[in-house]
Amino acid sequence: MWTPLAYAIIAGSVGLGVWCLASGARGRYLNQPQYSGLLLLSAVVLVQSIVAVVRLVGGERPSDLITFVGYLLTTALLMPAGVWVARMEPTRWGSVIAGAASLVVAVLTLRCLQVWSQ
Amino acid sequence: MTRSAINTGAGRVLLFLYALFALAAGARASVQIATNFDEAPVAYLLSAFAAVVYLVATVGFVRGGYGGRRLAMVCLLVELAGVLAVGTLSLVLTSAFPDETVWSQYGRGYGFVPLALPVLGLLWLRAHPESRDAPPPTGNAAEDADAAGDR
């Protein structure tokens, strides 16, 4: 984990999540900037996961390794999965799915950070 | 797909959240049971049970139709009973729950989503009764309109 990037992910995913949920509340599907934002977030989360794996291979070890890897995998897969399901539902509910996934990414990233520094 | 399908619209949000909780509870239970089962066997087995319920509910939502709806309904009721029972017990009998489960304190560790999910799910299923589960489209517009309107 690279802490500044983790905080950037948390801030970005909270903002994006609230934005998507707001669209859902207004009865709208995701617009192009939101969609691009979700893809960008997926990519940045992937970068963070690669950084974490490189540091794990380099010998850094959180005390609870299994839990950390579990959170890391879930975090990396969640956003792409959320976008995938949201695309199957091109209604307001697609926006809700993307928004919920984005907020959960924030929580999971925070948990990753906590486990990493333990 | 007719409007009666339980796996589209808001149903798809439920489906996504159920899949997520199946994964979250399942992963947590696996790690706990594999690493320190002796510490809190009851809590960890409950987490595993919750994970199975979430997984089966997810399958129910994905399948939809009559069977899927029944399956999801049973899971939601079990889940609601579970979160209420475990939530209450974890507050009253703190010693029995030395470690958290998904359902401890009504799912507080998970933002109370475990309490909200079965309630929202049951409301959703109630809004989409069985009789509205129409047969697959026949390709005949008039018949399909009939089927969709048959509640």
Q: In which domain, by residue range, is B74 found?
A: 10-129
Per-residue pLDDT reduced to its tens digit, B111-133:
899 999 999 999 999 988 775 54
* Residue B118, in any domain of the structure: yes
**CB-based contact B12 A88, cutoff 8 Å:** yes
Under an 8 Å CB criterion, which residues of A touch B?
66-67, 70, 74, 78, 81-82, 85, 88-89, 91, 93-94, 96-97, 100-101, 104, 107
B146 or B85, which is more confident: B85
Band the pLDDT of B134: cuts 50, 70, 90.
Answer: low
pLDDT given for residue B150 in this prediction: 44
Band the pLDDT of B141: cuts 50, 70, 90.
Answer: low
Percent of chain B at pLDDT > 90 equals: 38
- Give contacts of B27 with chain A, Cβ < 8 Å: 70, 74
CA A14-A20-A22 angle, to 5 degrees, is 100
* Residue B61, in any domain of the structure: yes
Rounded to whole angstroms, what are the CA distances from B23 to A37, A60, B55, B74? 25, 26, 8, 20
- For the cut 60, the answer to whether the pLDDT of residue B135 exceeds it is no
> What is the mean predicted confidence (pLDDT) over A74-82?
94
Q: State the distance between the two ends of chain A, measured CA to CA, in whole angstroms.
A: 12
Comparing CA positions, the residue from B112, B103, B97 lying closest to residue B85 is: B103
**Chain A closest-CA separation from residue B101 CA (Å):** 15
pLDDT given for residue B137 in this prediction: 52
Q: Which long-range contacts (CB under 8 A, 24 or more apart) does B100-108 make?
A: B100/B43, B101/B43, B101/B44, B101/B46, B101/B47, B101/B50, B102/B21, B102/B24, B102/B25, B102/B28, B102/B46, B102/B47, B102/B50, B102/B51, B103/B46, B103/B50, B104/B43, B107/B83
- Give contacts of A67 with chain B, Cβ < 8 Å: 31
**Chain A closest-CA separation from residue B9 CA (Å):** 6
Structure-derived torsion over alpha carbons of residues A104, A108, A111, A116, reported in degrees to the nearest 10: -160
Q: Do residues A84 and A110 lie in contact, with contact meaning Cβ atoms separated by under 8 Å? A: no
Q: What value does the mean pLDDT of chain B take? A: 82
Per-residue pLDDT reduced to its tens digit, A3-35:
999 999 999 999 999 999 999 999 999 999 999
Comparing CA positions, the residue from B39, B24, B55 lying closest to residue A70 is: B24
Counting the structural domains of chain B, the total is 1
Rounded CA-CA distance A113/B129 in Å is 44
**CB-based contact A97 B34, cutoff 8 Å:** no
Neighbours of A114 (CB within 10 A): 13
- Give contacts of B34 with chain A, Cβ < 8 Å: 66
How far is CA A12 from its chain centroid? 9
Per-residue pLDDT reduced to its tens digit, A39-67:
999 999 999 999 999 999 998 888 888 88
- Give contacts of B24 with chain A, Cβ < 8 Å: 74
> What is the mean predicted confidence (pLDDT) over B129-140?
56
- Give contacts of B111 with chain A, Cβ < 8 Å: 107
Domain residue spans in chain A?
A: 3-116
pLDDT given for residue A100 in this prediction: 96
What is the value of ipTM here, to two decimals? Answer: 0.89
**Chain B closest-CA separation from residue A74 CA (Å):** 8
* pTM reported for the whole predicted model: 0.84
How far is CA B123 from its chain centroid? 12
Size of interface A-B (CB pairs under 8 A): 39
* Residue B52, in any domain of the structure: yes
Choose among B9, B15, B31: nearest Cβ to A67.
Answer: B31
* Residue B28, in any domain of the structure: yes
Rounded CA-CA distance B143/A82 in Å is 35
Rounded CA-CA distance B84/B105 in Å is 9
